[in-house]
Each structure stands twice: as C-alpha cells, then as structure tokens.
Structure 1
Amino acid sequence: MSLIPGLNGAAQVLIGGASRGIGLALCAALLARDDVAQVWALARNAGTSPELARLAEQYGQRLKRVDCDLRDERSLETLVSERLAGCEHLHLVISALGILHQDGAKAEKGLSQLTLASLQASFATNTFAPILLLKHLLPLLRRQPTTFAALSARVGSIGDNRLGGWYSYRASKAALNQLLHTASIELRRLNPAATVLALHPGTTDTDLSKPFQAKVPEGQLFEPAFSADRLIELVGAHGPDDSGTFWAWDNKPIVW
C-alpha cells in the first residue's frame, strides 16, 4: 500500500511530538519504509533525545531532528523559514501531540476539580499546537498529494460521551476535531489532493495512559509500535474523499 493515496515516489514526512510514545514509534516505522525519503522529527528537545539519537545512528541523514515548541508561533516560524528551507513539499504530516495529566493538565473527575490552568494547558498542547502547525506548514501542502493527520481521542467525541469526566481533555480534543474539519474544507479548495484526518490510536502504553491502565480491558492496551502501524495504515487507506473525517485505529469511523 502506498504511504498516502496518490503518492508516486518517496515521501517527505514530518512528525510533531516525535521524541517519545507514539510519535517516536511513528518515526521508527516510517524510517523503516523504502517509500519514505526523509523524516523530520519535531520535539521541544529533539536534539538531545537519546531515542531519536539512536534512530539517527541507524538511519543517518534520513532523520532530521528539529527542536521546536509547537505551542509557540515564533518557534513554528523559525521551523518553516530556517529548518525546512530546503523542503519544497511535505507529503505526510502527523501531529502526535497530546497531554492528559502532564504540564499542568489534569484528568478531572468532576467540575470541582476543573481549573483555568488545567484548561489552558490542555488546549495549548492538544488543540492549539496541532492547528498552528498546520497553519505554518500550509505553504508546503499546497500541491501534490498530501495528508495532515492529528491524534485525537475517542473521548473527544461528543456523541460518544456517556461517562463524563476528563473535562479539559475531552473539550480540547473535541475542539481539535472541529478545527481539523474546518481546515479540511479550506485545504480542499487550495489543493484537491490534500487530506486532513483526525485519528484515534487506541489506548497505548505511554506516559499519558499509565495512571489509568489498570482499568483497560485485557487486549486493549497497545504497544506504541502497534499503534504506529495502525495509524500508518489509516493514512494509507483514506484520501481526499475522506478529508475532514474521524477514524479509530481499527479503521472504524467515530461520531463527532
């Protein structure tokens, strides 16, 4: 299967949140493919990440490690004007950003635990960073087949919310879904070969899920490498006709 629909030749790929968890697993899986020419690995400390350093030892110049705080527009401006200056087009961009209980965010059980600080932290990483990344990369997505995918979450579905709780996380992912859907409409006009997707990777064994893994049913906690493979299959299965849609790891659509 082609990396993305309509692609002929080797792909230029960018991964946001690449230094750990699913983002790191995506870098490893994509670099192992013959149809990927280069992977740009973005993280706040990409240059000092031991895991990315090991991938660089294995794959050499095919991996470009870039320090970039995706929540900061000046950092994103520098990314495009300096670090990506020699890149004419990106075929695949995946934002693997997400926090639930880190960096000031909280997994609230009730309204009494909700704070402005937690809301702001959740939205900064889960919502604002992915859409700002898309905004700044837009000049590199205007021609040829291209896919922009961001990791969302099933709990961001309003229609599927039956348990409540996790106010900040749910709301930030729901807002991300709306932003991605809206962006897909604009990109369809700018580049008919462009695809924008919201993807749910399933519950994955990462720092985000660790405090809650005891409640995950047997067989439903995935290794990052498994989730990465499923996400790559999803971007290969869904092209422009599916732009603006929301998919789970098992290739089943999720209601908004």
Structure 2
Amino acid sequence: MKAVIIGASGGIGKALADALEEEGGSVRRLSRPELDLADEASIAAAASSIDAPELVIVATGLLHDGERGPEKALRDLDPAWLARQYAVNAIGPALVAKHFLPLMPRSGRSVFAVLSARVGSISDNRLGGWYGYRASKAALNQFVRSLAIEDKRRNERGIVVALHPGTVDTKLSQPFQQSGRDLFKPDRAAVQLLDVIDELKPQDSGKLFAWDGTEIAP
C-alpha cells in the first residue's frame, strides 16, 4: 500500500507511519517545515511530489500552545486563538484534501482520513467549554462530510472519514490526562486506527468513527 502520513513527527503520526511500514507499506512521511498546514503553497508543493497514494492520513491537531489552552468559559474567548485553532484543526486538513484527494486512484478502494475528536460532536457535547477546539473539530467533521459527497463523483469506492483516536499519551493530551481514564500509547492507538480503516466500506464515507470502530453522531 502506498500511504502518506501528514503530521508524521507527532506521536500518533509517527506511530501510524511505523505501523504501516512494519506491515510492508510504502510510506511518505510529511511534517513541518516540508508541509505547513497554515501555508497552502507548502501543501501544494508537497502534493506535487506524490503519486497515486491509496491512503492519506492527516494526523495533526492543536489543543494548546504555550500559555494558550482550551477555554473554560465564555470570558476566555480570544479571536486570534480561535482563528489559529480553526487554521490548524479545520482549514489546514481541508486544504490538504484539496491538493491530495485528486492524486488518489480514480477507481478501487482508497481512504483519506483525518484525526478528529469526539468533542467535535455537537450532539455529544454535555459539558460545554473548550470552545475553539470543539468548534474547529466540528468544522472539520463537516468538511469531511462535504468532501466525501464530492469525492464520490471522482471515485465511487473512495472513502473520506474522520477518526477519533481516543485519549493518547502524546504532547497534545498530556496537560489534560486524567488518572483512571483509558489512555493509549501511540503505537497501540495507531494499530487501533489502522484496524478501523481496514474495516471501512464505501458507505462509511463522510462519517466520524471512534478508535473501536463505533460511529460517533455529528
């Protein structure tokens, strides 16, 4: 299998690339500065060197940075921080799709997957807070739905999905890990996600799935 992992320097991205290579796959690892989600020109340049990938995974995300983190209350909203979360969590992956989906096979099974989050589910939101992260992941899920509909015109067996990896022991989750809560090591999370990808059918395109294969309502 020819695969591309975007965000391959991150905990989950690296583990996904390693797991695919262990299975005998041909993997192109892309990360900053070769591909910057905030710079469409760099996305287009990276795509220009790729030929017919069967699997593309966007394993990126922004939850905190320095003193900035998830908003606990309305008073914490900051337009610049909100815009940055949207740029990394929603707009960037959508631009990756813009440049990479047309490179994927026009017939046969292919998968374009993005790492999303259960907290991006509007119907599952019972605690509030985390405004920017929730909203940007919800936007990503909507992008996935629209991309899936359009991509069916190009390849009816192509699959575009969002995946929730669970809570994984990476830099992204470290400040928010809770004792007693299921916490996956990156290598286990990667295998679980690849197992979900292996089981996907064309009719699953446009949906959000958790690490255990269960569908998450939008």
TM band (smaller chain): over 0.9
> What SS is found at the alignment partner of 1:244?
coil
Pick one of 200, 205, 229 that aligns with 2:191: 229
1:112 & 1:80 partners in 2: Cα distance? 40
Indicate the residue corresponding to 1:40 in structure 2. 28
Runs of 4+ in 1 over 6 A off after TM superposition: none
Kindly state the Cα deviation for residue 78 of structure 1 after the two structures are TM-superposed. 1.1
Kindly state the Cα deviation for residue 71 of structure 1 after the two structures are TM-superposed. 2.3
Higher gyration radius (CA) = 1
- TM-score of the aligned structures, taking structure 2 as reference length: 0.95
Deviations 1:43-88 (A, max 9, x none): 004xxxxxxxxxxxxxxxxxxxxx211221110121123x22xx2x
1:185 & 1:77 partners in 2: Cα distance? 22
- Is the aligned partner of 1:123 residue 2:86? yes
2:42 & 2:103 partners in 1: Cα distance? 17
Kindly state the Cα deviation for residue 217 of structure 1 after the two structures are TM-superposed. 2.8
Kindly state the Cα deviation for residue 91 of structure 1 after the two structures are TM-superposed. 0.3
Indicate the residue corresponding to 1:136 in structure 2. 99
Pick one of 95, 110, 117 that aligns with 1:146: 110
Alignment of 1:61-210 (within 5 A): 67-81=34-48, 83-84=49-50, 87=51, 89-102=52-65, 106-144=69-107, 145-210=109-174
1:93 & 1:68 partners in 2: Cα distance? 14
Q: Which moved more, 1:97-106 or 1:166-175?
A: 97-106
> What SS is found at the alignment partner of 1:217?
coil
2:68 & 2:95 partners in 1: Cα distance? 20
**Contact 2:53-2:105 within 8 A present in 1 as well:** no
1:39 & 1:104 partners in 2: Cα distance? 35
**Contact 2:165-2:211 within 8 A present in 1 as well:** yes
Deviations 1:181-219 (A, max 9, x none): 011000111101100111000000011111111x2534x
**Contact 2:37-2:87 within 8 A present in 1 as well:** no
Kindly state the Cα deviation for residue 106 of structure 1 after the two structures are TM-superposed. 2.5
**Contact 1:104-1:117 within 8 A present in 2 as well:** no
Kindly state the Cα deviation for residue 151 of structure 1 after the two structures are TM-superposed. 0.5
- TM-score of the aligned structures, taking structure 1 as reference length: 0.82
Kindly state the Cα deviation for residue 239 of structure 1 after the two structures are TM-superposed. 2.1
Indicate the residue corresponding to 2:4 in structure 1. 14
Q: Which amino acid aligns with 1:240?
A: P
1:217 & 1:173 partners in 2: Cα distance? 25
> What SS is found at the alignment partner of 2:152?
helix
Give structure 2 stretches of 5+ with no counterpart.
none
1:139 & 1:194 partners in 2: Cα distance? 11
Kindly state the Cα deviation for residue 105 of structure 1 after the two structures are TM-superposed. 5.1
Number of residue-to-residue matches in the alignment: 217
**Contact 2:54-2:105 within 8 A present in 1 as well:** no
Q: Which amino acid aligns with 1:193?
A: R
**Contact 1:104-1:121 within 8 A present in 2 as well:** no
1:104 & 1:170 partners in 2: Cα distance? 19
**Contact 1:181-1:244 within 8 A present in 2 as well:** yes
Deviations 1:6-28 (A, max 9, x none): xxxxx110011110210011011
Query: Quick one: structure 1 residues 105 and 117, their matched pair in 2 at CA, closer, same or farther if it must change by over 3 Å?
Result: farther
Q: Which amino acid aligns with 2:32?
A: R
**Contact 1:105-1:122 within 8 A present in 2 as well:** no
